Chains A and B, each alone.
Chain A
């Protein structure tokens, strides 16, 4: 294995262990890893932003679409929001907001409204076996009660005799959230497995890793001791 790959694996493994240490206590190693992550994320966004400006903006401009000069100007105007001329940034933002509203609204009516309602309306409640019929009726009732729960929020609509509607909707949503909760556990544990698998199958087999691992853990535990109780380094006293 070449040096670059070995270094890559070592760096990734140490960062992984340092980030996981926050589950136990905050410590300077975690802070280091955290700040590396945040800085890397911001730097990466810059890189991909520049890449897109070149591929999707500069390339057509160089081919004769000179209107992109205005687009570049608007792009730079975005950063005036940090100055006293902040109102200039509203122009490019307005274009982006307008595009976003146009694109999402035109299709949301069909995709999230009409398609969902027509799909619900097509559900058969007659001419099917008893259990399917019951399930389908429950489905339709839950959709209606949940929509009611969110749309009719003015006073009186959730109280008295109408309270049963929102209570039924809440039960349906609790069942949905229970399902979501189980799936979230699956997701997160899968991610943890991914990292532990990397540590065990790619890092630990490397020379020196098995010895370094306990040393890293000991240093972490030491770093988790509050600064004033640590024998070294001593915190700097004021004055």
Chain B
């Protein structure tokens, strides 16, 4: 009974939910509504999707919960060089959450808070990788064999095309880049996409039939055996 409640029923839920959603897409299962001409699965799937949105909204709080666990430990242990920053981090979470919930996510107050801090930080963190890339380009990008030579040559042509002045001065790079984009890049990416799609379909089926149980999280010894 316990194993059924803890493991089998969640797997069954995955199976049934996925099956209903796929059935609605491919089939018109009777009874069909005479007015809307839609199957009974249509309104059920609409509801399920909307429930999924609400559940996903609840899941957005996980980041804050995990961070709180981690940083309260740092604070309680007075981790050297870390605990003052942990206090600041938890304070920021509280400030953002209270301001956003109190004034509204689209209020001018919250917008001001967002633009003063989060937006600038987000934009800068993303862009700072450009510096590491530059260092990597100088130190690590070597034409050691045919494959890396090919990567470098194609990359160099694309870099020249991306630089507007070079593209205007030497229009041949535009044609070369167009060919590289249309032929080797698209074809290789298509091959990768087809392989990945097959893998995703296989993973989906394995999850539905209970062969993949990663989504269950940690398993007890009894559950592992089952």
* Direct touch of chains A and B (CB < 8 A): yes
* A interface, CB within 8 angstroms of B: 4, 7-8, 11-13, 15-16, 19-20, 22-23, 31-33, 35-53, 56-57, 60, 67-68, 71-72, 74-76, 78-79, 81-82, 86-87, 89-99, 101-109, 112-113, 116-117, 120, 135, 138-140, 142-147, 149-151, 169-186, 188-189, 191-192, 194-195, 198
- Chain A contacts for B218, CB-based, 8 A: 86
Chain A residues whose C-beta falls within 8 Å of the C-beta of B17 in the assembled complex? 94-95, 98-99, 101-102
Question: 1/0 per residue B54-79: CB within 8 Å of A?
Answer: 11111111111101010000000000
Given contacts A51-B104, A175-B184, 10 further A-B contacts (CB under 8 A): A20-B128, A38-B89, A47-B105, A94-B10, A101-B208, A135-B182, A170-B147, A172-B187, A174-B151, A178-B158
Whole-angstrom CA separation of A179 from B187 in the bound complex: 13
Give chain B interface residues in 1-40, CB to chain A under 8 Å. Answer: 5-7, 9-11, 13-22, 25-26
Smallest Cβ distance from A49 to chain B, in angstroms?
3
The reply to whether B187 and A142 form a contact with Cβ atoms under 8 Å apart is yes
* Given A20-B128, A194-B123: A106 in contact with B21 (beta carbons within 8 A): yes
**Once bound together, how far apart are the Cα atoms of A171 and B188, in whole Å?**
9
Interface residue from B18, B100, B196 paired with A50 (Cβ < 8 Å): B100
Asked if A46 and B132 sit within 8 Å, CB to CB, the answer is no
Q: Is B129 an interface residue (CB 8 A)?
A: yes
The verdict on A108 contacting B197 (CB below 8 Å), with A35-B88, A39-B91, A74-B55 known, is: yes
10 A/B residue pairs, CB under 8 Å, sorted by A: A36-B89, A43-B97, A89-B217, A90-B10, A99-B21, A108-B197, A112-B194, A138-B183, A176-B184, A188-B126
Q: How far is the CA of A32 from the CA of B53 in the complex (A)?
A: 34
Q: Which B residues are CB-close (under 8 A) to A50?
A: 57, 100-101, 105
Q: Residues of B within 8 Å of A, CB-based: how many?
A: 124
Contacts of B90 in A (CB 8 A): 39
A112→B129 CA distance, assembly (Å): 31
A101, A112, A173: which contacts B196 (Cβ < 8 A)?
A112
- Name B56's closest neighbour in chain A (CB-CB): A96
B151 adjacent to A94 (CB under 8 Å): no
Separation of A181 and B26 alpha carbons in the complex (Å): 40
Contact of B120 among A15, A49, A81, A87 (CB under 8 A): A15
Are A12 and B120 in contact (CB-based, < 8 A)?
Answer: yes
Known: A39-B96, A86-B217. A12 touches B18 (CB 8 A): no
Do residues B120 and A105 form an inter-chain contact, with CB atoms below 8 A? Answer: no
